Structure 1
Amino acid sequence: MYKFLSIVTGIIITIPVMSTIWLVSFFAIDLTFLLSSLISLIGAGLTYSLISVSIYVRFLKKHQLSMKDYRYIRKNLAEANHKIRRLQKALFSIRHLLFLKENMELLRVIKKIHRVTKKKPMRFFQGERFYFSHLDSAVELTEKYALLSTQPKKNEEMEQVLHQTRHTMKDIKTSIEKDLYHILSDDMEELQFEVDFAKYKTKPKGRLEDK
């Protein structure tokens, strides 16, 4: 989100600055057209860079992150996004409708966790079990299930493995749902506090007894 804000803000501010520098250089200082254009471009580049850095620093401060932490989180979010695409691709190749239905719900929860973490990067540390364990398990099991389920002939052993995989995926789904609740725990506590405070403010005051 901060990237989009940085680009839009940079463009809105940089264009007028670049135009002003060119007009001053060409008309007030009486420089040549090419030199005025060069100076305005340099000024625009410096302005855009300063704005981008300023927004980036404010973003890190707002989310209480160091540059090192944010780079680490961005790297892992990018890897998670790749894993989610793998999971989605594997799911769409499965013809077992019940398994597909159950795990499309799992995919929805996984995407929700990823969106929340992108919006609030500090939540990544609350979801480390998800990113370093549960997501990997979901992807690997789904890909293996997709591979086995598409085989034209299945023996008893293969059917048993598929059955066990379906059962394990239910356990993983439960774990990932708990991951989501854990990541959102701060929001739920904050909301509960606001609800309790609102109830307190709107609570009717008792009438004073007549003396």
Structure 2
Amino acid sequence: MKEIQHFFIRHFITAPISFGSWLILVLGASMNPIAATGLFIAIYFTGTFSIKQIQLSSNLKRFGMSRSEYNHIKGQISDAKLKIRKLNGLYGQVRSVQAFKQLHEMNNLSRRILNIVRTNPKKFYQVENFFYAHLDSAVELTSKYAMLVNQPLKDKDIRIALQNTRETLSDVNKQLEVDLRSALASDIEKLQMELDFVDVTLNRKKPLLEMKGDNTNERK
């Protein structure tokens, strides 16, 4: 969401400046329209690139990250988006209600984790295993399950393999829940600290309020 906002801000700033420069060059300086258009394009792309770099530097400062680790995490997020898209494409290939529900839960958990890291890239370090292992396991096992369940043969070996895969996917699903808790852990801790602070503050003021109430009653 922040990237889309930054995109529109860049073009909202650069477009009128570039077009205004074009009008000045053509109408004010009587420059050839083709040459002026070339300068317009150069100003537009240079402006958007410069603003993008400023926005990137601002993000790096806000998150306390280097450019290389920010780009690395951004690449991991892009890879994860493709994997989740592949996971979404398997809905039509699973046959049982249980498998469909399991797939839905894994998709839901994966999207939530990804959105949290997109909002705050620092969270990546709390859920590295999600990006490096757990999401891969979910995609690979679900793909194999879909392949097996759609086979015309349903002998004992295939039934055993399907059962084992369902059980393993259940474990992967639980691990994704752990990953989501890890991603939210620092937020929950921060919220609890804020609640404790408010509680302490209110308790400090409470005796003063009671004393004022007592004085009022005495006057009556």
Within a 5 Å distance, the mapping from 1:22-101 to structure 2 comes to 22-101=22-101
Contact 1:91 1:100 survives alignment (8 Å): yes
**In structure 2, how many angstroms separate the alpha carbons of the residues matched to 1:40 and 1:140?**
49
**In structure 2, how many angstroms separate the alpha carbons of the residues matched to 1:123 and 1:11?**
29
Which residue of 2 is the match for residue 159 of structure 1?
159
**In structure 2, how many angstroms separate the alpha carbons of the residues matched to 1:16 and 1:86?**
41
- The aligned amino acid for 1:124 is F
Gaps of 5+ in 1: none
Q: 1:44 to 1:89 in 2, by over 3 A?
A: closer
Give the 3-state SS of the residue equivalent to 1:184 in structure 2: helix
Which residue of 1 is the match for residue 198 of structure 2?
198
CA RMSD of aligned residues (A): 2.2
**In structure 2, how many angstroms separate the alpha carbons of the residues matched to 1:86 and 1:23?**
48
**In structure 2, how many angstroms separate the alpha carbons of the residues matched to 1:63 and 1:55?**
12
Which residue of 1 is the match for residue 5 of structure 2?
5
Which residue of 1 is the match for residue 175 of structure 2?
175
Q: Where do 4+ consecutive residues of structure 1 move more than 6 Å? A: none
- Structure that is richer in helix per residue: 2
Which residue of 1 is the match for residue 125 of structure 2?
125
Contact 1:18 1:43 survives alignment (8 Å): yes
TM-score w.r.t. the length of structure 2 is 0.84
Per-residue CA distance 1:10-64 (angstroms, 9 max, x = gap): 2221123223323443455454444444444433333222211111111121122
**In structure 2, how many angstroms separate the alpha carbons of the residues matched to 1:36 and 1:182?**
55
- The aligned amino acid for 1:65 is M
Which residue of 2 is the match for residue 18 of structure 1?
18
Identity, in percent, stands at 28
Once the two structures are overlaid, the 10-residue window that deviates more, 83-92 or 157-166, is 83-92
Per-residue CA distance 1:139-195 (angstroms, 9 max, x = gap): 111111111111222111221121121111111111110011001111111111222
Contact 1:6 1:55 survives alignment (8 Å): yes
Per-residue CA distance 1:55-103 (angstroms, 9 max, x = gap): 1111121122211112211222222222212222224311111121133
Paired residues, number: 210
Q: 1:44 to 1:142 in 2, by over 3 A?
A: closer
Contact 2:106 2:138 survives alignment (8 Å): no
Q: 1:194 to 1:35 in 2, by over 3 A?
A: same
